[in-house]
Amino acid sequence: MTLTKRIIPCLDVKNGRVVKGLHFESIKDAGDPVELAEKYSNEGADELVFLDITASDEQRKTIKDLVRKVASVIDIPFTVGGGVKSLEDARNILLNGADKVGINTGAIKNPNVISELMQLFGRQCVVVAIDAKRNYDLKQDKNIFSENGKKFWFEVFIYGGKEATGVDVLEWAKKIEKLGAGEILLTSIDKDGTKDGYDLILTREIVNSVSIPVIASGGCGKPDDMVNVFKESNADAALAASIFHYQTHGVNGVKKYLKDKQIPVRL
Catalytic residues: 12, 131
The bridge status of strand 17-22 relative to strand 25-31 is antiparallel
Using DSSP, how many helices (H) and how many strands (E) does the chain show? 10, 13
C-alpha torsion angle, residues 228, 205, 216, 55 (rounded to 10): -150
Cβ neighbourhood burial of 210 (10 Å; 0-12, 13-18, 19+): buried
Task: List CB contacts of 92: < 8 A, sequence separation 6 or more.
Answer: 61, 62, 64
The C-alpha atoms of residue 129 and residue 206 are separated, in whole angstroms, by: 12
